[in-house]
Chains A and B, each alone.
Chain A
Amino acid sequence: MSINNVTINAPATESAHGPAPRRYVRKTQMRIVLHQLSKNKGAMVGLFIILAIVLVAIFADVLFDYDRDVVGIHISQKLLRPSWAHPFGTDDLGRDIFIRVLYGSRYSVSVGVVATIIGLGIGVVLGAIAGYYCGLAEDIIMRFNDILSAVPSILMGIVIVSAMGATTFNLMLAIGITSVPQFVRITRASVLTVRNQEYIEALHAAGISEARIIAFHVLPNCLSPIIVQATLRIASAIIAASSLSFLGLGVPAPAPEWGSMLSLGRQYVRTASYLTIFPGLAILVTVLAFNLLGDGLRDAIDPKLKK
C-alpha cells in the first residue's frame, strides 16, 4: 500500500500503421528520483568516485599482498620522496604510501558505512517508535536524544573509544552511536507526517499489528529523507573515523587507516610533508564524493530544496 507510485503518460510513438496506441508506463518514485539524479553532474561525479573507491576497497587484497606491500617493513627505502616507483613516496618504515592509501580505502569506507548503518539502525527504530506512539515513549526517547546531542560528537566518540578500547569495531560503534540523534530526529519527523494518514487508519481497521504497520507501511514512506541523511552521514563518519584515528583512538597500527597515516605523517611534517598530503587528499576526495551524491539525492528527492 505504498503512496509513492505515480503513473505518467509516455509519449505516443508513430509507426507505419498510424499512431501507436498510447502506452502507460508506471513510473515509481524510485525511477523518478534516479532519473533526476542521473541529470545531476555533481552527483554522478560523486557516484563514479564512490564506485571506484569501493572497487579498490573490494579488490585491495587481489591487487596487493598485505604482509609485503602494505605493512611490510623495507628500511632501505624509508622516507623516499614521490617518484615513478613510489608515486606518493614512502614512510619511515619504507612502506609505499600510494599502496597504503589505496588499501586504506577498505578501512575508511567500511568504518564510515558500518558506523552509519549502526546509527541508522538504532536511530530509525527509536525515531519510528517516538513518532508513531508519541506519549511517554516519545518523551523518554527524545529526552535520551537530547542527552546524546548535548555532548559534542567528537568528545562522545573519544570517551566511548577510550573506554571500550581502540579497535575497529569500537570505532564503528562509537561513531554509530554519535550519529543516532540525527536519525532519530529525522525519522520521528517523517513518521509524524505519515502516521495520521487515512491508509494507516485503514490498516488498523484491517487488524494489522502495529509492528507490521510501522515496519512495512510507515517506514517505507519515510525513507527519502533518511536515505539522504545516511549518504551525507557516511561522509561525516569517514571524517570522524579518521579524526579519532588521528588522535590514536581508531584503527590500531599498522593498518593503513587514513587518519592514523596522517598522525604518523605529522611527526615528519618538516622533512617529509608528502606523508600528510596524500592520505588527507584521499579523505577529502572520498568525503567530497559522498557529499556530492547526498546533495544530488536531496535535490532529486525534493526538487524544492534545489536552491
Chain B
Amino acid sequence: MLRYAMKRLLLMIPVIIGVSFLIFFIMDLAPGDIVDLKLAEEGLTYEQTEQLREAYGLTGSVFTRYFSYMLNFLKGDLGTSNVSGRPVLDSFLEKMPATIVLACASIFVSIIISIPLGIYAAIKRGTFADNASMVLSFIGLSIPNFWLGLMLIIVVALNVSWLPTGGFTKGIASVILPAITVGTGLTATLARTTRSSMLDVLSQDYLRTERAKGHKEFKVIMKYALRNALIPIITIAGGQFAVTLGGAVLTETVFSWPGVGRLIVDAVNSRDVPMVVGCIILKSITIGIVVLIVDLLYAVIDPRIKAQYAKRKRKTA
C-alpha cells in the first residue's frame, strides 16, 4: 500500500508543474499587473515603475519568470505577496485552518443528514418518504450555495438573531451557518449516492441469510448492508471534502470567512501573481493528498481491496 501511495505522490509532480504553468500563463494574459495598479493609485514616474517591475520580478518573458519561480519553489520558497509583502506560504498557512474547519464541519453536517436519509429512502423504496427525500435532495443539488447562505443570514442571523452573520470570531456558533451552506449540496449528493448504493446491496442474498439467522433488521442494515455500501459513499464524500477544501470561495465571501478561498479572490483582484499561483499550487497538492487518502481508506473498509494490495506485494516480492 505504501508503494502505491508513493507512486501516486510521484504522479502528482507533473500535474503540479502543469497547474503552476497554466495559472502562471493565464495570469500573465491579464492586461495589467501590480505595478500598473500602483501607478494608477500613486502616480509613479517611469523610472519608479521600472524599478518596481524589477523588484517584483516582472521583467523578462513569461517562460523566464516561470522558470525562476519554479527554481525558488523547489527550494521551498513560494515567493512573497506583491501586496502585503508577506511570504505566500505564511499567508496560506494562516488562512488554511479556517478553511479546514469549514470543510470538516460541512462534511459532518452532510454525513449526519445524508446517510440516514439515503438509508431510509432505500429501505422505503417507492414510498412517499422515498420520493420526498429524493425531491429534497434534488432541490439541495440545485440551490446555489451563496444564495442559500444569504437566505440563512436573513432568516437565522438577522430575523431571529440566533447566530452571527459572519466571521470566525464566535467559535462554534460562527461555523454553523457556513457549514450548513456548504453542506447542503454535499448532503444532496451523498443522500442520492447512499440510496443508490444501499439499493444495490439490499438485494443481495447474504442479507437474507443474516435475517434468517435471526439478526435484528437494524443490525442487518447498519452492520452488513451499510458497510458493503460504503465504498461509493466514501468516494463521493472524500471528493466533496477535497472540493470544499479547494473551493468554498463563495461561502467564504458571503460569510466573510477568513479562509484560503477569500485570500485567492483578493489576490486575483489585486493581480498578486505569486499569491495566486502559490495558493493554487498548495490547494492542488492538498486536494491530491485528500483524494489519495480516500483511495487508501478503501482498503481499511473493504478487506477485499486490502487483500489485493497484499497480493500485489507478494507478487513483487
A93: interface (CB < 8 Å): no
**With A151-B23, A262-B147 as contacts: A307 and B199 at CB distance below 8 Å:** yes
B22 touching A147, Cβ below 8 Å: yes
A302: interface (CB < 8 Å): no
B287 touching A150, Cβ below 8 Å: yes
Q: Which of B19, B150, B253 has the most CB of A within 10 A?
A: B150
Shortest distance in angstroms between A241's beta carbon and chain B's nearest beta carbon? 10
Shortest distance in angstroms between A256's beta carbon and chain B's nearest beta carbon? 16
A280 touching B15, Cβ below 8 Å: no
Q: Which of A41-75 contact B (CB under 8 A)?
A: 42
A280 touching B151, Cβ below 8 Å: yes
Q: How far is the CA of A280 from the CA of B146 in the complex (A)?
A: 9
A307 touching B142, Cβ below 8 Å: no
Shortest distance in angstroms between A233's beta carbon and chain B's nearest beta carbon? 13
Tell me the count of chain B residues lying within 8 A, CB to CB, of chain A: 48
B247 touching A280, Cβ below 8 Å: no
Q: Which of A21-29, A97-105, A124-132, A161-169 contacts B (4 or more CB under 8 A)?
A: A161-169
Interface SS, B side? helix
* Residue contacts A-B, CB under 8 angstroms, 19 given: A150-B15, A150-B19, A150-B284, A151-B280, A151-B283, A151-B284, A154-B247, A154-B250, A159-B27, A159-B268, A160-B26, A163-B28, A269-B158, A270-B158, A276-B154, A277-B151, A283-B147, A288-B139, A307-B199
In the complex, which of the residues B138, B154, B284 contacts A269, with contact meaning CB atoms closer than 8 Å? B154
A152: interface (CB < 8 Å): yes
Interface digits, A97-124 against B, CB 8 Å rule (1 contact, 0 not)? Answer: 0000000000000000000000000000
B269: interface (CB < 8 Å): yes
A291: interface (CB < 8 Å): yes
Q: How many A-B contacts if CB must be within 8 Å?
A: 123
Question: What band does the interface of chain A fall in when counting residues whose beta carbon is under 8 Å from B?
Answer: 35 or more
Residues in A neighbouring B15, C-beta threshold 8 A: 143, 146-147, 150
B196: interface (CB < 8 Å): yes
A247 touching B142, Cβ below 8 Å: no
Shortest distance in angstroms between A63's beta carbon and chain B's nearest beta carbon? 25
**With A158-B268, A266-B150, A291-B141 as contacts: A307 and B27 at CB distance below 8 Å:** no
A246 touching B249, Cβ below 8 Å: no
B200: interface (CB < 8 Å): yes
Closest to B141 in A: A291
Q: How far is the CA of A295 from the CA of B188 in the complex (A)?
A: 14
B31: interface (CB < 8 Å): yes
**With A162-B30, A280-B144, A292-B138 as contacts: A155 and B19 at CB distance below 8 Å:** no
Q: Which of B28, B141, B283 has the most CB of A within 10 A?
A: B141
Shortest distance in angstroms between B264's beta carbon and chain A's nearest beta carbon? 6
In the complex, which of the residues B139, B143, B144, B243 contacts A152, with contact meaning CB atoms closer than 8 Å? B243
Q: How far is the CA of A146 from the CA of B15 in the complex (A)?
A: 7
Residues in B neighbouring A235, C-beta threshold 8 A: 142
Residues in A neighbouring B16, C-beta threshold 8 A: 150
A247 touching B246, Cβ below 8 Å: no
Closest to A289 in B: B142
Residues in A neighbouring B28, C-beta threshold 8 A: 163
B250 touching A247, Cβ below 8 Å: yes
Closest to B198 in A: A307
Interface digits, A128-147 against B, CB 8 Å rule (1 contact, 0 not)? Answer: 00000000000000011011
Residues in A neighbouring B76, C-beta threshold 8 A: none
Q: How far is the CA of A151 from the CA of B285 in the complex (A)?
A: 10
Shortest distance in angstroms between B210's beta carbon and chain A's nearest beta carbon? 22
Closest to B135 in A: A42
Residues in B neighbouring A242, C-beta threshold 8 A: 144
Residues in A neighbouring B284, C-beta threshold 8 A: 150-151
| 19 extra interface residue pairs, beta carbon distance < 8 Å, beyond A151-B280, A163-B29, A273-B154 | A146-B15, A147-B18, A151-B246, A151-B283, A158-B264, A158-B268, A162-B30, A162-B268, A162-B269, A243-B146, A247-B253, A262-B146, A262-B150, A277-B151, A280-B151, A283-B147, A284-B147, A287-B144, A291-B141
Q: Which of B28-86 contact A (CB under 8 A)?
A: 28-31
Shortest distance in angstroms between A180's beta carbon and chain B's nearest beta carbon? 12
Q: Which of B156-191 contact A (CB under 8 A)?
A: 158
Q: Which of B243-270 contact A (CB under 8 A)?
A: 243, 246-247, 249-250, 253-254, 261, 264-265, 268-269
A191: interface (CB < 8 Å): no
